[in-house]
Amino acid sequence: MWLSCTPKYAVASFSRQIFKSYFHVLGRWRCNVAAFMPEAAGFEGVWDRSALQDFSVSDSESFWAAAARQRLSWIRAFHTVQDCDLSRGQIRWFEGGKLNVSVNCLDRHVHTCPERVALIWERDEPGSEVKVTYRQLLEMTCRLGNLLRRRGVKRGDCVTIYMPPCPLAVASMLACARIGAAHNVVFAGFSAEALAERIRDAQSSTVITVNQGVRGGKLTELKATVDAAVHNCPTIQQVFVAMRTENPVAMTARDVAMEEEMLKEDVVCEPAAMDSEDVLFLLYTSGSTGKPKGLVHTQAGYLLYAALTHRYVFSYHDGDVFGCVADIGWITGHSYSVYGPLANGGTTVLFESTPIYPDPGRYWEMVQRLKINQFYGAPTAIRLLLKYGDQWVHEYDRSTLKTLGSVGEPINTEAWEWYYRVVGDGRCPVVDTWWQTETGGICISPRPSDPDAEIVPGMAMRPFFGIKPVLMDTEGKELTSNDTSGALCIAQPWPGMARTIHNNHQRFIDTYCQPYPGYFFTGDGGYRSKDGYYQITGRLDDVINVSGHRIGTAEIEDVVNQCSAVAESAVIGYSHDIKGQGVYAFVVLKKDVDIQEADLSLELNNMVSTKIAKYASPDFIQFVRRLPKTRSGKIMRRVLRKVVDRDLNRLGDLSTLDDPAAVEEIIQGHRELCGKQQSS
C-alpha cells in the first residue's frame, strides 16, 4: 500500500512495521542473552552464549525467523522460514516475504536519524574525505533509481557497475535494489576483456562507470576500458558516466552524463516490493575452470546475514565508524562496506586508495583522522606494512580502534602478532574471518562480542550463529574427532549463502553440492584443533589466492595458450611472502619457435594483464620442453608444486608418469630461473 504514496508516509508505515517487530520481541524479553542479542529473546533454555550458538544450529529455523523479524523491515511478512535441499542445490529463505533492500539500508534510518553520516568517502588524496549523510544517500539513490527507470531499466534487469569505491557506486547498487534490478559490480582493476565477458554473461544493457579512476596518485582510464569492453557486448544500450576527475572523456550517443541527468530527477523514488528470493546481485568469481562464475545472491537472506555478522563479529555499536578497506568490486566490499553497515544504520568508510599512498602510514593516518573504531583489511597489506616498520604506525593515534579484522587468506602468525601488538597496541581483539563470495558473509571467526572467549592467533576458530562446519575425509565421511584435517563443508543451509550460478545451476550443483551430497562444499581444506577450533589450510581445487584475490589457474592458462608460440602451459600457485601466493607458469613452446624467452615472457605477462588483470600476471615463467603427465595425458600439478616449493623429497609416486625424465629437466630449469631472478 505504501508503495504508491510519498516517502514520508512510506517511512511512517515502515516504522509501524519495525515497532510491531520490536514489540513482538520485547514482549518475550526474558533470558539474559537478549541483552547482547535481542534476536535470542524468548528462546526456551537459551541462557548463555554457547547455548545460543547450539540453539542457532539445532533450531536454526526459529533462530533465523526471529532474527529476520527483528532486523529487517518487511512490506509483507514471510510465511516459510526456509525451504532448502542442499543435495539438489535448492536454497530458499523467507518465502512469502516482501521487502526492499534500499529501504532497509536507507529510508528507515532517514526516518530516525537523517543527518547521521552513512558514508565517509576516503578519497585517494589524503585529507580530502567526503561525508554523506543517510538523507543525502537516499536522495542520491532515488534520483539515480528514477534515472535508471526513465532510461528503461526494469525490474529483473542486471546493471553492470564498473567503478572504484565512491558514494555514487554505493548509490548505484542501492538504486538497482530500489527499482528491483540486479547489480553486477566488476572490480575496476579488471581488463576490458574480463569486463566484457562479465557483461555478456550477465546480459546487461546498462553499464555505470566513471570517467577516470584515481588510485595511488595515478589515473586509470575507466571509461576508455568500458568503451573497449562494450564494443564486444551486443546487449549494451547505454553507459552512465560519472565524473571522478575534471578531465573530459569522449562521449558518444550511447553515453549518459550521469550527474547532470540525475539533477533532473525527482528525489522521491518508489521502491519496488521485492520477493525475498528475487536476485539482489551477481558477483563473478574464479573457479577451477577458465570461465568465471556469476554467483547469485538474493534479497532478504543475504541482507540479514550481512547485517548480523557485521554487528556481532566486529562488535559494531551504534555511532561507531567502520573501516573496511576492501574494494566494492569484491564480496567483502559488498557485505562489509555497503550492505552490512548500512542495514545496521552504521557509518562506513569507502577507501579509494592503497595502503602505501602517499606513504606506508596511510591506513593509520586515516584511522586517526576519521576516528575509525573497527578496521577490516587483508593479510597481504598487513605483511607489506610490517616490512616498512613500526614507526609508520606509532606516528598516529589509534586509540579509537576497538576491533581489528582480517580477511581473504590465511593470516600468518607473524602478521597476526604485529597487527595485534603494534596496530592494536595489544588491546584490540583481532578477528580472522573466514568466508567466501559464495557464503555471502563471515562463517567462521572469533567474536569479540563474546568477551570471555579466547582468541588464538591465525585461526578463524568458531562458527557464526547458524553455521555448522564439518570436515570430510577422502571417502566422503564426516570426521568427528578433533585434531584432524579434511575438506571443509557446511552441514546445513544459512540465509546468506549464494543460491546459484547465473545461467548455470548445474555448475552450482556440481561444484558445491555434489562432492559431498547433502553438504555445501567450500573448496577449502580445514583443520580442527584439539580444542575444536577451525583453521583454514587453503584451497583444495585449482584456485589460487593472490593478495586475497581468487584466480583460477585455468583462467591464466587459457590466456597463455592463446599466444601463437605456446603449445601448452600449466599454472600453479607458490608461496609468496607478501602476496600469500604468487603465480608460476610452466610453458611449452611450439616446435621451431624462434623467439627470445625474455621477450616472450614480457608478451605473456602483458597478455594476462590485458585479458584478466594485473594481479593475475605470472611472477615466474619457466619454459620447459614438456610437462609431467600421466599416461592418460593429465598434467601432474602436484609434482610441479613440489618442485617450486623445493620439496623434492616428497615428489610422491612418479611411476604413473609418462616420461619421468621430464621432472629432472624441470627441476634443473627451476634452479636456473631462480638463479637468474636473484642475480637480476
Q: Given the rule CB under 6 A, which residues bind ligand PRX? A: 285, 331-332, 407-410, 432-437, 460, 522-524, 536, 539, 545, 550
Terminal Cα distance for the chain, rounded: 71
Phi, psi of 106 (to 5 degrees): -130, -65
Q: Residue 375: which of 393, 358, 391 has the closest Cα? A: 393
Complex with ligand PRX: residue 229 or 331, whichever CB lies closer: 331
Q: What angle do CA 130, 135, 136 make, to 5 degrees?
A: 40
Q: Residue 400: which of 331, 468, 345, 349 has the closest Cα? A: 349
- CB 547 to ligand PRX: min, Å: 11
- CB 445 to ligand PRX: min, Å: 8
438 neighbors 295 (Cβ within 8 angstroms):
yes
- CB 435 to ligand PRX: min, Å: 5
- CB 438 to ligand PRX: min, Å: 7
569 neighbors 579 (Cβ within 8 angstroms):
no
- CB 304 to ligand PRX: min, Å: 18
Complex with ligand PRX: residue 89 or 410, whichever CB lies closer: 410
Task: Please count the helices (runs of H) and the strands (runs of E) in the chain.
Answer: 22, 31
Residue ranges of alpha helices (H) inside 395-445 are 413-418
Handedness of CA 475, 477, 481, 485 (dihedral sign): positive
Complex with ligand PRX: residue 419 or 434, whichever CB lies closer: 434
- CB 459 to ligand PRX: min, Å: 9
Task: State which residue has the least CB distance to ligand PRX.
Answer: 437
- CB 21 to ligand PRX: min, Å: 30
Complex with ligand PRX: residue 102 or 436, whichever CB lies closer: 436
Q: Residue 229: which of 161, 322, 149 has the closest Cα? A: 161
Complex with ligand PRX: residue 244 or 550, whichever CB lies closer: 550
Complex with ligand PRX: residue 361 or 408, whichever CB lies closer: 408
Q: Residue 231: which of 196, 202, 270, 183 has the closest Cα? A: 196
- CB 311 to ligand PRX: min, Å: 18
Complex with ligand PRX: residue 321 or 326, whichever CB lies closer: 326
- CB 183 to ligand PRX: min, Å: 17
Half-sphere exposure of 627 (CA within 13 A, CB side): 23
- CB 572 to ligand PRX: min, Å: 15
Cα torsion through 356, 358, 360, 362, rounded to 10 = -90
- CB 605 to ligand PRX: min, Å: 23
Taking the mean position of all CA atoms in its chain, how far away is CA 278? Answer: 20
- CB 285 to ligand PRX: min, Å: 5
C-alpha grid cell, residue 639: 609434482
Residue 547, Ramachandran bin (φ over 0: left; ψ between -120 and 50: alpha; else beta): left
Complex with ligand PRX: residue 179 or 185, whichever CB lies closer: 185
Phi, psi of 79 (to 5 degrees): -105, -20
Complex with ligand PRX: residue 288 or 610, whichever CB lies closer: 288
C-alpha grid cell, residue 569: 602451459
Complex with ligand PRX: residue 109 or 293, whichever CB lies closer: 293
Compute the distance between CA of residue 119 and CA of residue 130 in angstroms, rounded to an integer.
8
Complex with ligand PRX: residue 410 or 582, whichever CB lies closer: 410
Phi, psi of 632 (to 5 degrees): -85, 5
- CB 196 to ligand PRX: min, Å: 21
DSSP secondary structure letters along 32-67? GGGGT-GGGTT-TT--SHHHHHHHHHHTHHHHHHHH
C-alpha grid cell, residue 326: 576492501
SS3 content of the chain, % helix, strand, coil (to 5): 35, 25, 40
Complex with ligand PRX: residue 327 or 558, whichever CB lies closer: 327
Complex with ligand PRX: residue 164 or 379, whichever CB lies closer: 379
E-state strands within 53-194: 80-82, 93-95, 98-99, 117-122, 130-133, 158-162, 182-185
Compute the distance between CA of residue 331 and CA of residue 344 in angstroms, rounded to an integer.
18
Complex with ligand PRX: residue 433 or 511, whichever CB lies closer: 433
Q: What is the DSSP letter of 345?
A: T
